[in-house]
Each structure stands twice: as structure tokens, then as C-alpha cells.
Amino acid sequence: MALAGCSEAQPANGPAPEIPRLIADRFAYPVGPGESVTRARDKKDEWYDAQDFGENNHLGEDWNKNSGGNTDCGEPVYAIANGEITYAADAGPGWGNVVIITHTLPDGTEVQSLYGHLKAIEKTSGTINLREKVGTIGDGNGRYICHLHFELRERHCPSWDMVFVGYSPVSYGWVDPSGFIDKRR
Ligand SMILES: [Zn+2]
């Protein structure tokens, strides 16, 4: 009976079950059917990057449909990899609805993808899979012609998990989204 006290110290239901972590082992572009769209095929497939990363100090890419104007309003936007939604809100004038997904790469490194000017948000929290719908393309609360503002951030980004500015001459922490995806498709 010497161990009677010890057995009571055991948790009633054993250790908490480990929550499986989605690993981002593969990436794809956030727009277009299947996985057919790439920046290398701008204007050859249905979509193009109208303002590239770094152009005019742009911290992301602006994805538009070739058909122009607002013909892409309401088109689906997809998660570029497995991950977890860590931000989903109306970020105010100029941004509209924004979703940020945190991705864990196979080596444990974390990156974030940001989807801006969304018309609607599909899901506001929890895990999300590669090519699962994030929301739809919008106009940033009426500020722009419809397009997707798309960013890719590294862990040391000063606006990790936040909406900040879409343009800055200091891009430390942001990476070229298409370049990143192309290496991991
Ligand atoms: Zn933009």
C-alpha cells in the first residue's frame, strides 16, 4: 500500500493526445484551376502577376485574371500549402478581408502566406490543406480593381501574424512568393 498515493498522481485519462501538425511539404499557386497557374506562364495561362514582388517596393504579388477589370471578383483563392489559419479579419480600408496562414516546412521552419483584399473569407481558424479554399477575390472594400494581394513572410518578418503595409523599401522578412513556390511545387 506504500504506492497508493503515487497512483493518484497519475492523470485520470493519461497524457493529452498529441495534436497532429500539418506539414507544408508541397506548395502551389493561390489562384486558378488545378495547379496549372505559374508566374512563368503569365498571360499564357488564365492568370498573371500584375505587380511583381519588389516592383514599386511592393511586398507581395498582385494576381489578376487575364480577362481584366473586375472579371476576377469572386474567384476562389486557395491555400498554397498545408497550414494553420492564424489571422482572418477585415483589416480596414485598403486591405479588406485578410487571411494569414502559418506553414511549417518539413525542417520545422515556419513561413506565412497572406491573402489580401478578399471579398469573402471561407474559414477563420483551424488547419487548412493545400489548395483548400481560403476565400474569394475582392476589391479591398471598394478601393481597387479586384485582385489578390499575396505575400510570403519568414519568421523574422516584422509583421509576422499581422497586417502591416503592402509597400516598403525595407523588405527584410518578406520573400518573392512565386520564387518560393516554384522551388517547392
Ligand atoms: Zn499588392
CATH of the domain at 104: 2.70.70.10
What's residue 4's pLDDT? 46
Cα distance between residue 108 and residue 148, in whole Å: 28
**Residue 7 included in any domain:** no
User: pTM of the full predicted structure?
Assistant: 0.88
**Residue 5 included in any domain:** no
What's residue 94's pLDDT? 85
**Residue 13 included in any domain:** no
59 CA distance to ligand 1 centroid (A)?
Answer: 7
**Residue 119 included in any domain:** yes
* Cell triple for 20: 497532429
**Residue 131 included in any domain:** yes
78 CA distance to ligand 1 centroid (A)?
Answer: 17
**Residue 95 included in any domain:** yes
In sequence order, the β-bridge partners of residue 126 are 85
Amino acid, res. 42? D
61 CA distance to ligand 1 centroid (A)?
Answer: 6
8 CA distance to ligand 1 centroid (A)?
Answer: 58
**Residue 168 included in any domain:** yes
116 CA distance to ligand 1 centroid (A)?
Answer: 8
Structural domain tally of the chain? Answer: 1
DSSP secondary structure string for all residues of 104-134: E-TTS-EEEEEEEEEEEES--SEEE-TT-EE
Residues of the chain below pLDDT 70: 1-21
Owning domain of residue 113: 20-182
166 CA distance to ligand 1 centroid (A)?
Answer: 6
54 CA distance to ligand 1 centroid (A)?
Answer: 10
60 CA distance to ligand 1 centroid (A)?
Answer: 6
**Residue 113 included in any domain:** yes
Amino acid, res. 147? H
170 CA distance to ligand 1 centroid (A)?
Answer: 15
